[in-house]
Amino acid sequence: QQQVKQSPQSLIVQKGGIPIINCAYENTAFDYFPWYQQFPGKGPALLIAIRPDVSEKKEGRFTISFNKSAKQFSLHIMDSQPGDSATYFCAAQGRGYGANNLFFGTGTRLTVIP
Amino acid sequence: DTGVSQNPRHKITKRGQNVTFRCDPISEHNRLYWYRQTLGQGPEFLTYFQNEAQLEKSRLLSDRFSAERPKGSFSTLEIQRTEQGDSAMYLCASSVGQGNEKLFFGSGTQLSVL
């Protein structure tokens, strides 16, 4: 059972565009929602994270929007660059069983065309 | 390089053989995690150590898998009697803290079982 559902599977945008990646979850025990970026041949690297007490968080060109009532969150990349081409994973972590591990989405392969 | 180090980077083995992977975490990190990632999927939690104690194992983890972290430093993951379904990228991550902290991933060990 996929704890975190992610879409789209792949995304192609022009340089300067604003790709948006969406994730949804069901487990209300989740209280930490990070996004990881992964380049080919490398492990995932933390990009930005949010907790459900805020609806938005910005770090540089990356923004997370969080909708607690809908149990959805999304990543927006402003002014996207070819160097942003990578696979992006949303994840969730919470209390109780699995409190020490992240549940990852299936990933979105982003391609930014110059 | 002070990041998480994993060896070997690639391992090809025949079905039924045993394999062992090593992970050297960032030196001051007390928490160590093993994840498995298959093509087109997000990382999936396998097990977690705090110092030398293995505190959590995934319910999906077969008894053919065993992990150790002697003296709370490096860790090894052993797979006995490998099966073709074990083919995946095995990722190690480390962190310091009490939860919801940033995970630092290594570049992984790619296992191919023929």
* Contact (CB<8Å) B43/A102: yes
Do B42 and A105 lie within an 8 Å CB cutoff?
yes
Q: Do B100 and A31 touch (CB under 8 A)?
A: yes
DSSP-derived secondary structure for B42-99: --EEEEEEETTEEEEE-TT--TTEEEE-GGGS-EEEEESS--GGG-EEEEEEEE-SSS
| pLDDT digit string, tens, across residues B9-20 | 999 999 999 999
Over the range B94-113, which residues count as b (16 or more CB within 10 Å of their CB) and which as e?
A: bbeeeebeebbbbbbbbbeb
Is pLDDT at A110 greater than 80 in this prediction?
yes
- With beta carbons less than 8 A apart as the criterion, state whether A102 and B103 touch: yes
Out of A44, A46, A100, whose CB is closest to B48? A100
Q: How confident is the model at residue A97 (pLDDT cuts 50, 70, 90)?
A: low
Q: Integer distance in angstroms from the first to the last C-alpha of chain B? A: 33
Residue A42 touches partner B, C-beta closer than 8 Å: yes
R_g of chain A, CA atoms, integer Å: 14
